[in-house]
Amino acid sequence: MVQIEVFRRQLELAKELERPASIHCVQAFGDLLEVLQSEGPFPAGLILHSYIGSAEMVPGFAKHGAYFSFSGHLTSMKPQKAKRMLKMVPMDRILLESDAPDGFPRLDNCALSWVPDDVSVPQELRMQTRETNMDTSMLPKDILNHPANISCVLSYVAMLLEMPEEELAEVSYRNASRLFSYPGSKFSEEDLSPFVMTT
């Protein structure tokens, strides 16, 4: 298959350049793991963007250097399934992302931000900057996600992992810093200022 061959070449290039590879996988986690097993290891790491795969797949991906990035798409999983999967991810491999303008978090108890002039947002909500305690299942599927909604992803993942938000923010920050401090990067772990979380 052409797609898999091109993907293999991209992985080879990432290894050659000593860069992490960002992978967007949708309903093909078994196939992805097979490719990683044949092409690995990946010393610079792999990013499984907006990961919503099973808990059972986590150890295999982690063995090949994968980092697991979580976005609002995680809210599409049943909470118990998401919690089981998150508990399998090593702490030094957790990343958080907004995936804006996609990945709107479907959370009813979070202060959500709206993209200005997004016509898919109901008129009564467009007048407000943020909304809490609403039924997000009533919102249209094509609603745009605002980057500020990463705070909702942080809250949700922290709740499922049963850990303080500040601790999870620090973990994700350190993991991202380590992952993106590759040779030739515009920054290194040593150059980064200490993490400060503001609410």
User: What structural domains and CATH numbers belong to the chain?
Assistant: 2-99+149-191 (3.20.20.140)
- Rounded to whole angstroms, the Cα distance separating 61 from 80 reads 21
Q: What percent of the chain has pLDDT over 90?
A: 65
The yes-or-no verdict on residue 39 having pLDDT over 80 is yes
* Encoded tokens for 160: 């499922």
Consult the annotation and say whether 142 binds a ligand: no
Between residues 144 and 119, the one the model is more confident about: 144
Q: What is the rounded CA–CA span in Å between residue 99 and residue 73? A: 9
Residue tagged 């059972």 (tokens): 56
Closest residue by Cα to residue 36 from 19, 4, 61: 61
- Does 24 show up as a binding residue in the annotation? yes
The reply, when asked if residue 64 is annotated as ligand binding, is no
Question: What pLDDT is stored for residue 128 in this prediction?
Answer: 60
Residue 127 has pLDDT above 50, yes or no: yes
∠ CA 197-195-65, rounded to 5°: 115
For the chain, what percent of residues have pLDDT higher than 70?
89
